[in-house]
A and B are shown apart, each in its own frame.
Chain A
Amino acid sequence: MADSSWLNTFPKMDRVDLLEIRKYLDGAFRDFSREYGDDLEVFFSPLLDFLIWFEKLLVQSPWWAVLLSITALVYVASRSWKLSLSVVVSFMLIGYFGMWEDTMRTLSIITVCTMLAIILGVPIGILMSRSDRTQSVVTPVLDVMQTMPAFVYLIPVVMLLGIGKVPGVIAVVIYAIPPVIRLTNLGIRLVDKEVLEAATAYGANKMQRLLGVQLPLASPTIMAGINQTIMMALGMVVIASMIGVKGLGQPVLKSITNQYFTLGLFNGLAIVALAIIFDRASQAYAKRSQKHLQDGHNG
């Protein structure tokens, strides 16, 4: 090739160099995972134990006990008979169509993922709201987490931890955590400056300001973030099933490969039912707990 051809074709890197880079990075990561993979597995083993215990609890308890406690939880959160009744009906249908066990597995992993996302996400959001510099660092990371195809970060996770529940949880959390972080940050930043100033003027320290003013006033926004996180976690269930997470995702995956339309539809509908129940219950709870913020006649 002549030197002048860069005008016609893009001047790209030599294939050999590119191969070298890929080889080097892959090699480095492989070494890293060989070196630290076991340590990481040990590190995550409490999480795994908890996951197994929780899944067993849901799967092995009598179905009526599980149904009763879920309905009770939904009622306590929403105080709505209508919603509680639809929970009973949809879980009965799910059970009747033979998806009870898979639904319980999915329910358990979603619950754990959501809890993890909140435990990690809210503090990160708080830190982000405290300084513009932290915000400018974290925001692009969140952008990457949300837009990077999930399969891409499944690869290193699987390389490090193998196939199973823990890498599944990690993948789901990575995918689902951005909304709760973003909206916690936003919610705190939007807190009325004068109210916060009032707290400071009366001598509140940082913690008193955070717990007494910032978090309560940001809670509608934070709740919206948690809601989004739950929805995204449910959406991730199918992809997580590719790396061995049992639950409603696996039958869906099976029906894609074997073209079982009805099987896919039923399991998909079960996921939708779970999503709607989670969404309505958490929104009703948020609305109820912020009632006094909304019904003012003076705005």
Chain B
Amino acid sequence: MASETNKKPLIQIKDLYKVFGKKSESVMPLVREGLSKDDILAKTGHTVGLKAINLDINKGEIFVIMGLSGSGKSTLIRHFNRLIDPSEGQILVEGIDVMKLNTKELEIFRRKKMAMVFQRFGLMPHRNVQDNVAYGLSVQGVDKATRAEKAKQWLETVGLAGYEKQYPSQLSGGQQQRVGLARALCTDAEILLMDEAFSALDPLIRSEMQDQLVELQKELNKTIIFITHDLDEALRIGDRIAILKDGELIQLGEPVDILLNPADDYVEAFVKDVNRPRALTVSTVMKPPAYRLTAETIGGALEEMRRIPANYAYYMTDDGFQGVVCEKALENAAQSDEEGLMEEFKVEDMSSLSPDAPLESIIPETMKSKFPLPVVDDDGDLQGVLSREDLAEVLSGFNRVETDGETQIENNDK
């Protein structure tokens, strides 16, 4: 999903600063001067939580905020619903300045606009699963029958039908987090805040939950703000990713941007461990189709072929990609009949790749082929080519793919 720039973002964070400590105002000038987190801690005993954060989050996207522990990501997410008040800055949700809400308004805002999922689930041990799921509604004063009905419905959605009367302590971690997710969905809030929601789960359950979240999102189209320390997770579910370090926003972009053009060494270190074949799709690493033949006759094709520096080319007609042609075969054919039509010339059939396929699924094919494999979209158009050299280069961990004019990779460095 691409970000729609023409629409007004759903949530805006403007110049957000957060300093922890007793006299945070007195430290603000130092922070703005640009002193580092460690210097400020040493000088004043105050901890800088967040520094000059600016974010726009669009409706319907999964926005991932990523960083290591201490990077301020959990602090940041708690600013969206003001579980933490900023030292300075603005938080706008649908144009409403959250900072200006009084206690009562803030309670209503939290009830209606946002729901949160917690790392260690945050379930109430003294309530059964159904009452936990319906908690948001009970706070709002919704009657019991409606609550029970909605809770049941969402429990079914997350795959926990029949567990209504159990207590959280009787469930496994994955099941507990499903309850947490159902609780968040049960209030019908538009914005979902997920604070390391899957970090406490074991890997198998985690990827299961990630898939479930992505599936659910297709139906529900919520705006999800997702915190994680795991880049694989971020790349897997995120539409856009923001990377935090020491309370500062280092890079903001779509997963591919982050993966292929890390902004600095910090991000690069992150990116190094990513499972690239799974995270990248063919379209992100393919090269533009350089050598194509469009002539109608064999002679014409041969002439085109001689002009290019390679001894093979992809034959295109108005109907799209047809196959690959060798210079040798073309010369042989030209000797017998230079005016023969290309349609009658037997082009070498060749398997093609889909631009959306993840790299891990096309490694064998690409490695076996002596020519770069054509990348053909659903309409039959040739989008690009992928050679085994290019593939090997990306997979072997060259962190920056060559970004000269030939590449198709969007390169909008922030």
Q: Which residue of B lies closest to A213 (CB)?
A: B124
Question: Is the CB–CB distance between B126 and A216 below 8 Å?
Answer: yes
Question: Is the CB–CB distance between B172 and A298 below 8 Å?
Answer: yes
Question: Is the CB–CB distance between B83 and A201 below 8 Å?
Answer: yes
Residues of B within 8 A of A293 (CB): 125-126, 169
Give Cα A297 to B136, complex, Å: 26
Q: Which residue of B lies closest to A206 (CB)?
A: B103
Considering only residues 248-272 of chain A, those with a C-beta below 8 Å from chain B are none
Shortest C-beta distance, A137 to chain B (Å), equals 20
Question: Is the CB–CB distance between B81 and A201 below 8 Å?
Answer: yes
Pick from B109, B118, B136, B173: contact of A197, CB below 8 A: B118
Pick from B109, B111, B116: contact of A198, CB below 8 A: B116
| B42 on the A face (CB < 8 A) | no
Residues of A within 8 A of B176 (CB): 298
Q: Could you tell me how many residues of chain A have their Cβ less than 8 Å away from some Cβ of chain B?
A: 25
Question: Is the CB–CB distance between B139 and A204 below 8 Å?
Answer: yes
Q: Which residue of B lies closest to A290 (CB)?
A: B126
| A203 on the B face (CB < 8 A) | yes
Give Cα A205 to B170, complex, Å: 29
| B352 on the A face (CB < 8 A) | no
Q: Which residue of A lies closest to B176 (CB)?
A: A298
Give Cα A215 to B108, complex, Å: 23
Question: Is the CB–CB distance between B167 and A296 below 8 Å?
Answer: yes
Give Cα A299 to B120, complex, Å: 12
Shortest C-beta distance, B104 to chain A (Å), equals 8
Residues of A within 8 A of B135 (CB): 198-199, 202
Pick from A199, A204, A216, A290 the residue with the most CB of B within 10 Å. Answer: A204
| B122 on the A face (CB < 8 A) | yes
Residues of A within 8 A of B121 (CB): 194
| A57 on the B face (CB < 8 A) | no
Shortest C-beta distance, B129 to chain A (Å), equals 11
Question: Is the CB–CB distance between A202 and B169 below 8 Å?
Answer: no
Residues of B within 8 A of A195 (CB): 122-125
| B114 on the A face (CB < 8 A) | yes
Question: Is the CB–CB distance between A203 and B122 below 8 Å?
Answer: no
Give Cα A194 to B119, complex, Å: 9
| B236 on the A face (CB < 8 A) | no
Considering only residues 168-184 of chain B, those with a C-beta below 8 Å from chain A are 168-173, 176, 183
Q: Which residue of B lies closest to A292 (CB)?
A: B167
| A134 on the B face (CB < 8 A) | no
Question: Is the CB–CB distance between B108 and A203 below 8 Å?
Answer: yes
Question: Is the CB–CB distance between B139 and A208 below 8 Å?
Answer: yes
| A200 on the B face (CB < 8 A) | yes
| A217 on the B face (CB < 8 A) | yes
Give Cα A171 to B14, complex, Å: 60
Shortest C-beta distance, A294 to chain B (Å), equals 8
| A14 on the B face (CB < 8 A) | no
Residues of B within 8 A of A197 (CB): 83, 118, 122
| B150 on the A face (CB < 8 A) | no
| B107 on the A face (CB < 8 A) | yes
Q: What sequence of 0s and 1s flags, for each residue 208-249 of chain A, a beta carbon within 8 Å of any chain B beta carbon?
A: 100011001100000000000000000000000000000000
Question: Is the CB–CB distance between A201 and B120 below 8 Å?
Answer: no
Question: Is the CB–CB distance between A203 and B173 below 8 Å?
Answer: no
Considering only residues 129-186 of chain B, those with a C-beta below 8 Å from chain A are 135-136, 138-140, 167-173, 176, 183
Known: A195-B124, A213-B124. A200 touches B169 (CB 8 A): no
Residues of B within 8 A of A205 (CB): 103, 107
Shortest C-beta distance, B174 to chain A (Å), equals 11
Give Cα A192 to B173, complex, Å: 17
Question: Is the CB–CB distance between A194 and B139 below 8 Å?
Answer: no
Residues of B within 8 A of A143 (CB): none
Question: Is the CB–CB distance between B110 and A203 below 8 Å?
Answer: yes
Considering only residues 308-340 of chain B, those with a C-beta below 8 Å from chain A are none
| A17 on the B face (CB < 8 A) | no
Give Cα A293 to B170, complex, Å: 10
| B187 on the A face (CB < 8 A) | yes
Residues of B within 8 A of A216 (CB): 124, 126
| A3 on the B face (CB < 8 A) | no
Question: Is the CB–CB distance between B110 and A201 below 8 Å?
Answer: yes
| A132 on the B face (CB < 8 A) | no
| B115 on the A face (CB < 8 A) | yes
Pick from A198, A200, A297 the residue with the most CB of B within 10 Å. Answer: A198
Q: Which residue of A lies closest to B104 (CB)?
A: A205
Residues of B within 8 A of A292 (CB): 125-126, 128, 167, 169-170
Q: Which residue of A lies closest to B120 (CB)?
A: A194
Shortest C-beta distance, A211 to chain B (Å), equals 11
Shortest C-beta distance, B215 to chain A (Å), equals 24
Residues of A within 8 A of B116 (CB): 198, 201-202
Residues of B within 8 A of A203 (CB): 107-112, 136, 139-140
Known: A195-B124, A213-B124, A293-B126. A298 touches B171 (CB 8 A): yes
Shortest C-beta distance, A191 to chain B (Å), equals 10
Shortest C-beta distance, A190 to chain B (Å), equals 13
Question: Is the CB–CB distance between A194 and B118 below 8 Å?
Answer: yes
Shortest C-beta distance, B124 to chain A (Å), equals 6
Shortest C-beta distance, B46 to chain A (Å), equals 19
Question: Is the CB–CB distance between A217 and B170 below 8 Å?
Answer: no
Residues of B within 8 A of A200 (CB): 83, 110
Shortest C-beta distance, B373 to chain A (Å), equals 49
Give Cα A197 to B121, complex, Å: 11
Residues of B within 8 A of A208 (CB): 139
Question: A195-B123, A201-B115, A298-B170 given. 16 additional CB < 8 A pairs?
Answer: A192-B122, A199-B124, A199-B135, A201-B110, A202-B135, A202-B183, A205-B107, A208-B139, A292-B125, A292-B169, A293-B125, A293-B126, A295-B169, A296-B168, A296-B170, A298-B171
26 contacts between A and B (CB under 8 A): A194-B118, A194-B119, A195-B125, A198-B116, A198-B124, A199-B135, A200-B83, A200-B110, A201-B83, A201-B114, A201-B116, A202-B115, A202-B187, A203-B107, A203-B110, A203-B140, A204-B107, A292-B128, A292-B169, A292-B170, A295-B169, A296-B125, A296-B169, A298-B170, A298-B171, A298-B173
A residues in contact (CB < 8 Å) with B: 192, 194-195, 197-205, 208, 212-213, 216-217, 290, 292-293, 295-299
B residues in contact (CB < 8 Å) with A: 81, 83, 103, 107-112, 114-116, 118-126, 128, 135-136, 138-140, 167-173, 176, 183, 187, 193
Rank and list the top 4 A-B pairs by shortest CB-CB distance, nearest first.
A296-B169, A203-B111, A198-B122, A203-B110
